[in-house]
Amino acid sequence: MTTESAPVSNFLRTIVQEDLKCGKHQTIVTRFPPEPNGYLHIGHAKSICLNFGLAREFGGRCHLRFDDTNPVKEETEYIESIKESVRWLGFSWGAHLYYASDYFEQLYLWAEHLIAQGKAYVDDLTADEIRAHRGTLTEPGTESPYRGRSVEENLDLFRRMRAGEFADGAKVLRARIDMASPNMNLRDPVLYRIIHAPHPHVGDAWCIYPMYDYAHGQSDAIEGITHSICTLEFEDHKPLYEWFLDNLPVPNRPRQYEFARLNLTYAIMSKRKLLQLVKDGDVTGWDDPRMPTIMGIRRRGYTPEAIRNFCETIGVGRSDSWIEMSILEDSVRQDLNERAPRAMAVLRPLKLVIENYPDGQAEEFSIANHPQKPELGSRAVPFCGELFIERDDFMEEPPKGFHRLVPGQEVRLRGACIVKCTGVEKDSEGNVVAVRCTYDPETRSGLPGAERKVKGVVHWVSARHAVRAEVRLYDRLFTEPNPAGDDWKLFLNQASVEVLSDCKLEPSLAQANSEDRFQFERQGYFCADLKESRPGAPVFNRTVTLRDSWIKK
C-alpha cells in the first residue's frame, strides 16, 4: 500500500487549530475558488490540497466555487475539467458547489447599497483614463470628474447600466474610497463593468459583471467561509477585502489568509501561457501529458496520492520560493515503486536468435510482479528461440565497463536464463539486424545453475508472443528552469516527446486498461494512455524514468 506522509504543521493549520480551540469558530469552512478560464495546474493542486485538506482534517467543509465573473474568458469545458480534476485528486465538495454568478443579484443589491451610502459612483472615464488617473506608488491619484455625482444620479445610471442602455466600456461603477491611499487597490477600485456577452452559467441575464475583488469576499461572506485562503499576491488586496465587509450588511465575516504560491522549475503556472501553448499547437491540448495541468499530469501517469504527497512535502509557507521539478518526479517514483507491477517491454527492438533452442518450441517462466511484494503475485512470461532485446543492450565493440551483450560474452536474460553471444547478422549496409547466441539450459530460473553469476542482466520479450505497441517517451516541456520573459516560448524543449511506434511488450500487457501503471524493467514507469489506449491495442506514456536523468545535465 502507498504511504502518505503525516501532516507536517504549517502556519495555517496552527491558525485553524487555535480558532477552534478558543471557540472563535465551531467548525471551519474553506473554499477553493477557481476561475473557469482554463484547466487547473499543479499550483492549483497545492491550493486544493490545502483547502480541502484542512477541512477534512478538522471536520469542516470545503466549497468548490467557480469565480465566474468574466464571461469573455470562461467556458463550460473548463468548469467540467475543474470538477474532474478536484475529484480525481481525491476531494469532494459534497453538496457545496457554488458559482459566484449565483450571487449576482445579491452583489448588485449591495452595490446599490454602497451607492446609497455615497460609497460608490458611476464613472464615465475610459479604462485608459482611469489608469492614467490612478497615480503611482509614489504619487497620489487624481479624482475623476464624475466622482461627485449625486446618489440619485448614480442609482439611475447604475440601473440603466444593468438595463443594457450603455455600450461596453462606456461606464463603470467604482467604490469611492481614497484616490490618495498608499494602497493602490483602495484608489476607487472598479466594482462593475459593462460586458454584453452571454455567460456560461447564467446566460443572458446580465450585461454588467462584478470585478473579482468585489465578488470574491462577498461570496465568501454569503457562504459563511471562515478561512479564505489565497496566494500572497492578494495581500495588498486585503484592505479592500475588509473595506467591503466593513461597509456592507454581510451575514458573516470571513478572514483572508495568504500563503506562497507554488512555483515549479521547468514548468509554467500561468493559465494565459498554458492557453497559448494549446492555441499555438505546441502541445496536443490542455491534457497533453507534458502539460503541468492536473489532467496532463494524470495522463502522464501520476497518481493522486503522489500529488497529494508532493503538496504535503513542499509545505505551506509565507515566502515565495521555487520547487525543483525533480521533487515532483521523485514523489511519483516513490509511489509507483511501491505499487506498480513490473513488466518487460522492449522499446527499440533488436532480434536475438538462440541457436540451440529447439525449433518451434516455447516455454513459460514465472516471474514475480514485484520484487519486494510477493502478495502482488507472479505471471507466466513466454519464452522461445527468438526474442527481442533492447538495441542498446548489445554492442559489437563495447567501451570499457559495458556489461550487457557483447560477442563472446554472457548475460542473464531477466527471470529466464544465461545466454552467450556467438555472432551477429548484418544487412548489406553493415547494420546489425540480429544477434545470435546460445543458451545454457542449466541456468534456467528455478534450477540450481540459476545461481551462476554473470555481470549483466537484460530484459527481453519473446518475438513470437510479443505485442506491438506505441510508447511515448516524455521529457520536460522546457529546457530552462525558469522560462520567463516575453520570449518564454524560446525555451520550449523541442525534444519533449519521442514516439516509438514499434515497441515489443510481453503479452501480459496486451490487455492493460487505460490508466494501468507499470514499471517497465530497467526503463521507468509507464501508464496506459487515458484517451488512446485500449485493451488489445495498448499505448503507453512514460511517466518518469527510474532515476533522475537531469542531475548531470
Active site residue 271: yes
Pairing of strands 432-440, 539-544: unpaired
85 binds ligand ATP, rule: CB under 6 A = no
Residue 269 found at the interface with ligand ATP (CB under 6 A)? yes
Coil, helix or strand at residue 387? strand
Three-class DSSP category at 256: strand
Restricting to residues 185-244, which ones interact with ligand ATP according to CB under 6 A? 230-231
Nearer to ligand ATP, 114 or 262 (CB): 262
Compute CA distances 147 → 109, 153, 179, 474, whole Å. 20, 11, 11, 57
Residues contacting ligand ATP: total by CB under 6 A: 15
Can you read off the three cell numbers belonging to residue 499?
Answer: 514516439
Tell me if 261 contacts ligand ATP by CB under 6 A: yes
Least distance in angstroms from the C-beta of 122 to ligand ATP: 27
DSSP 242-288: HHHHHHS--S---EEEEEPPEEETT----HHHHHHHHHTTSSSSTT-
* Candidate list 16, 29, 30, 33; residue touching ligand ATP; CB under 6 A: 33
Within 284-374, strands assigned E span 321-323, 342-343, 345-346, 349-354, 362-368
Closer Cβ to ligand ATP, 100 or 175, answer by number: 100
Q: Active site residue: 261, 273, 348, 420, which one?
A: 261
Q: Does 275 bind ligand ATP (CB under 6 A)?
A: no
Nearer to ligand ATP, 271 or 472 (CB): 271
Contacting residue, 29, 43, 497, 516, with ligand ATP by CB under 6 A:
43
Using the rule CB under 6 A, give the single segment among 267-275, 406-414, 437-445, 462-470 that binds ligand ATP: 267-275
Query: Is residue 35 among the annotated active site residues?
Result: yes
Q: Which residues pair with 208 in a beta bridge?
A: 194
DSSP string for 440-488: EGGGSTTSGGGG---SEEE-EEETTT-EEEEEEEE--SBSSSS--STTG
Query: Distance between CA 222 and CA 238 in Å, rounded?
Result: 18
* Site stretch for ligand ATP (CB under 6 A), options 41-49, 174-182, 468-476, 529-537: 41-49
Interface residue with ligand ATP among 271, 308, 404, 517 (CB under 6 A) is: 271
CA distance 382 to 366: 9
List the one residue out of 484, 546, 482, 477 whose CA is nearest residue 329.
546
- Closest approach, Cβ 286 to ligand ATP, in A, equals 13
Among 44, 299, 444, 472, binds ligand ATP (CB under 6 A): 44
89 neighbors 51 (Cβ within 8 angstroms): no
Residue nearest to ligand ATP (CB): 43
Q: Which is nearer to ligand ATP, 294 or 416 (CB)?
A: 294
Minimal distance, residue 264 CB to ligand ATP, in Å: 8
Q: Which stretch binds ligand ATP (CB under 6 A): 33-41, 302-310, 414-422, 446-454?
A: 33-41
Query: Which residue, 225 or 389, has its beta carbon nearer to ligand ATP?
Result: 225
Give the β-pairing of 362-368 and 342-343.
unpaired
Sole window of 164-172, 244-252, 270-278, 347-355 interacting with ligand ATP (rule: CB under 6 A): 270-278
Using the minimum distance from each CB to ligand ATP, give the nearer residue, 196 or 272: 272
Q: Residue 220 or 410: which CB sits closer to ligand ATP?
A: 220
404 an active-site residue?
no
Among 114, 262, 347, 505, binds ligand ATP (CB under 6 A): 262
- The strand pairing partners of 259, in sequence order, are 231
Q: Which is nearer to ligand ATP, 70 or 369 (CB)?
A: 70
CB of 313 to ligand ATP, least distance (A): 15
Between 264 and 381, whose beta carbon lies closer to ligand ATP?
264
C-alpha cell at 333: 517514483
Q: Does residue 497 interact with ligand ATP by CB under 6 A? A: no
**Which one of 35, 84, 143, 470 is the catalytic residue?**
35
What is the pattern of x (binds ligand ATP, CB under 6 A) and - over residues 46-65? xx------------------
Report 106-165 residues binding ligand ATP (CB under 6 A).
none
* Distance (Å, whole) CA 528 – CA 507: 14
Q: Are strands 61-66 and 29-32 parallel, antiparallel or unpaired?
A: parallel
Q: CA-to-CA distance for 280 and 274, rounded, in angstroms?
A: 10
C-alpha 273: how far from chain center: 15
Helix axes 325-339, 304-314, angle to 10 degrees: 130
Rounded distance between C-alpha atoms, residue 323 and residue 445, angstroms: 45
Q: Give me the helix-helix angle, 42-57 and 11-21, nearest 10°.
A: 20
Phi, psi (rounded to 5 degrees) for 318: -120, 15
292 vs 349 by CB, closer to ligand ATP: 292
Q: Which residues of 308-325 are buried (b: 16+ CB within 10 A; e: fewer)?
A: bbbbbebebeeeeeebeb
Torsion-angle region of residue 490: left (phi > 0), alpha (psi -120 to 50) or beta? alpha
Write down the least CB distance from residue 229 to ligand ATP, Å: 7
* Catalytic member of 46, 176, 193, 271: 271
Q: How far is the CB of 48 from ligand ATP (least distance, A)?
A: 8
Q: Which residues of 426-463 are buried (b: 16+ CB within 10 A; e: fewer)?
A: eeeeeeeebbbbbbbeebbbeeeebeeeeeebbbbbbb
Q: Least separation, in Å, of the C-beta of 33 and ligand ATP?
A: 5
Q: Which residues bind ligand ATP (CB under 6 A)?
A: 33-35, 43-44, 46-47, 230-231, 261-262, 269-272
Q: Which residues are catalytic?
A: 35, 261, 271
